[in-house]
Structures are given as structure tokens and as C-alpha cells.
Structure 1
């Protein structure tokens, strides 16, 4: 069995992102949402995710933008974020071991919680 190492390069980020989203696309629960929203724009989405994680984990500032707005109108709930996190953790743990791998999981969890909170907030304020 191969010895796992930490995330150290853009190539590692690409491996994480590509592996993760290949599983997301096939997932029965969250896959249809991603596939419908992203449609034929997977290459652009993956490129954006490489830059996002490169900026967060490697502190190489290649991402600019606001990650939340594209998610604001999605038909998703906490259960969708839970499944997203489950796949992210499993993917990260299968590929990497080390402080940056742990940081990736922590950042993903914080982002999922914040996005879920903000989506719920926007839905509730629209109803009132």
C-alpha cells in the first residue's frame, strides 16, 4: 500500500479536486444537483476549484471572487452539505495525510456550515 503524504503542490490540489468531483458527479443524492447546475461547464468549474484550494491551502493567491453567490439559489439542505462533507473527508483521507489535509477538511466543514446557514437565512428572509 502506498504511503500517504500531505498536500504540498498544485498537482496535489488537482488530484484532490478531480477525485472529489468525480465522486460527486456519480453520487445519487448530490450528483444531480451539481450536474444540472454545472452542466457542460465542468472544466471551468474544476479550474476555479483548483485556484480556490490553491489559494486557501498553499497560500498561492490565484483565486479571486466570492464563492457563496453561485450557491445561494440552489435547492439544497443541510443533508446535501452533510453528504458533500462525507465525500470530501473520504476523498481527502484516501489520498493525503498531514496538516494541510486536515486543514482542507476543516476549511471545507466551515464553508459547508456557513453556506448552509446563509442559504437558510436567505430563504427565511424571503418568506417574511
Structure 2
């Protein structure tokens, strides 16, 4: 079956669920996510559905600021690279099209910004 573009909430759920399933099993970033999300995975996944639904489908179901819950995580560029690697692989395995490409661009921008801000909070004297 030929791959289609992301087009509705079911597609968003498939993307998010497949991505976080791989994240939870990943040797590098899995332990960080699993410790932080202990008992809260369903709530996090719901939030991620709304986040990506808002970004990609322009159905405004997410409000809030995505960065603050992440600022004290014990992560660095290596973790963000792995996060992006998994995200890109998942998107490419499930979808093809304009919104699939948009998802990867948005994720890369977010990874860059989150990493930059975390480094800034961690070492404010270097800025």
C-alpha cells in the first residue's frame, strides 16, 4: 500500500503512538522518558495528539507552553539527535507528503530550540 500524507487525527495518533512506543524502548532516551512519565503516559500521549493536531492540521486543540516541563531534564545534543532520528524514521515509515515533511521540520526546530534553552538554563554564565 502506498504511503499517504498526514491528514486527520487518527494519523496523528498513529504517528505519536508509534514514535513514543519506540522512544520507550530506546536504550538512550527511553529511561529518561520512562522515569519522567511514570504512570502519566496516557496523559502525555493525549497532550501530544493535541500538540501535533494543532501544528499540522491547524485544528487548535493544544494550548500551553511546551518547553517548561523539559527544562530540567538530564539531556544533551546526543539525546536530541536520537529523538530526531527516531521521529524521522517513524514519519518516513508511515507517511509521505507535505505535512509529513512539515512534521520533521517542526520537530527539528523544536529539538534545536529545546537543546539551546536547556543548555542556557544549565549554564547561564556562558551566554
Normalising TM by the smaller chain, what interval?
over 0.9
Deviations 1:7-51 (A, max 9, x none): 000000000000000000000000000000001100000000000
Q: Report the CA distance shift for 1:99/1:116 in structure 2 as closer, same or farther (over 3 A).
A: same
Answering whether residue 32 of structure 2 is matched by residue 33 of structure 1, we say yes
Q: Which residue of 2 aligns with 1:66?
A: 65
For these two proteins, the number of residue pairs brought into alignment is: 127
CA RMSD of aligned residues (A): 1.2
| Aligned 1:1-128 pairs, distance under 5 A | 2-125=1-124
In the alignment, the residues of structure 2 paired with residue 124 and residue 18 of structure 1 have an alpha-carbon distance, to the nearest angstrom, of 34
For 1:7, what is the secondary structure of its paired residue? coil
In the alignment, the residues of structure 2 paired with residue 10 and residue 94 of structure 1 have an alpha-carbon distance, to the nearest angstrom, of 18
TM-score by length of 2: 0.98
For 2:89, what is the secondary structure of its paired residue? helix
Question: Structure 1, unaligned stretches of length 5 or more?
Answer: none
In the alignment, the residues of structure 2 paired with residue 36 and residue 126 of structure 1 have an alpha-carbon distance, to the nearest angstrom, of 29
For 2:123, what is the secondary structure of its paired residue? helix
In the alignment, the residues of structure 2 paired with residue 54 and residue 9 of structure 1 have an alpha-carbon distance, to the nearest angstrom, of 8
Deviations 1:38-89 (A, max 9, x none): 0110000000000000000000000000000000000000000000000000
Question: Structure 2, unaligned stretches of length 5 or more?
Answer: none
State the Cα distance separating 1:125 from its structure 2 match: 1.4
